[in-house]
Homo-oligomer: A and B are copies of this chain.
Amino acid sequence: MAHEFDLIARHFSRPVPARFLGVGDDCALLPVDAGRQMAVSTDLLIEGRHFFAGVDPGALGHKALAVNLSDLAAMGAQPLACVLGLALPAVDHDWLGAFADGFYAMADRASCPLVGGDTTRSVSGITLSVTVFGQVDPVRALRRSAAQAGDDIWITGSLGSADIALKLLQQALPFDASLLAATRDALERPEPPLFFAQDLAGVAHAALDISDGLLQDLGHILAASHCGAELDYDSLPVHQALRGLPAAVQEAAVLGGGDVYELCFTAAADRRETVLALARRAGVRATRIGRITQGGDMIVRRADGGVVAVPSGGFDHFG
């Protein structure tokens, strides 16, 4: 059987930039630029809960890092480095190699090298722990509490596809191979808008990433900022694969579907052109979906003035 250190040497020892000291020592040392603070986020991913047993290991490696990078994006932080905890029931070098490939490919694109970790044998199932580190000017960081009445509400990318893929895989929707093919990457290989998010620091006001569902997550901004919101349902960027699905299925996916890992942010109305120019430069779709209001309510309006019923709750971890 492989020893812990052999596992790390074989699969998790790709080169790290020389500015990171201490890699392989008791701690990795991370340089932080003057005037910046370290931004930190951590996630646990459990087989059978956050991902399916038998999921493609490359996709799992990608997503484990991507969902954490999404938290850095939501603060407008620049990724610096990450650490990985990996508990496995047994050593499968093919699986580990594919997992490492997916993880490192995401890390390389994000300039977020893996600088440390912990591997161990689990009693049952796979558990992943990823912690990411970024840096950000604390004055420019995108806080949930910074939305202001009159702000535009924006979202990157499109909505609904990850939720449809999840429901297809859970057999909560009838089997549809072409619909799954069109939506599966959104669920398994999310691509948070990392570079656009850094450009937004100092331009946008509040931001967060959509992990539990648009309405639930936007609710966190409203609660932290003590304000309300009006959303224009017909302006929402519904993923094109959802066309043809029943309206109720679309609405549930778009308003309540989780695992999106796109950015929802607010910005003053006089920054619209700046936001769109930054989005073009980053190759990101940014869509204005509503506005922040002084009241505490969240209202979703159709073009005809009708109000869409808001599904209650989102992803309840202990529900």
Determine the residue in chain B with the shortest Cβ distance to A7: B318
Within the assembled complex, what's the spacing in Å between the Cα atoms of A182 and B4?
31
Which residues of chain B are within 8 angstroms of A3 by Cβ–Cβ distance? 316-319
**Interface flag for A189 (CB, 8 Å):** no
B123-A22 in contact (CB<8A): no
Q: Please tell me the size bucket of the interface on A.
A: 35 or more
Within the assembled complex, what's the spacing in Å between the Cα atoms of A253 and B28?
30
Which residues of chain B are within 8 angstroms of A25 by Cβ–Cβ distance? 74-75, 143-145, 208, 224
Identify which of B38, B43, B115, B317 contacts A133 (C-beta below 8 A): B38
**Interface flag for A50 (CB, 8 Å):** yes
Nearest CB in chain B: distance from A107 CB, A: 15
Nearest CB in chain B: distance from A170 CB, A: 16
Determine the residue in chain B with the shortest Cβ distance to A5: B317
Which residues of chain B are within 8 angstroms of A136 by Cβ–Cβ distance? 29
Given the interface contacts A26-B208, A50-B120, A71-B27, does A32 sit within 8 Å of B42 by beta carbon?
A: no
Nearest CB in chain B: distance from A17 CB, A: 14
Which residues of chain B are within 8 angstroms of A38 by Cβ–Cβ distance? 29-32, 38, 133
**Interface flag for A21 (CB, 8 Å):** yes
B39-A27 in contact (CB<8A): yes
A209-B26 in contact (CB<8A): yes
Among the 9-residue stretches A83-91, A236-244, A267-275, A296-304, the one with 4 or more Cβ atoms under 8 Å from chain B is A83-91
Identify which of B77, B116, B127, B143 contacts A40 (C-beta below 8 A): B116
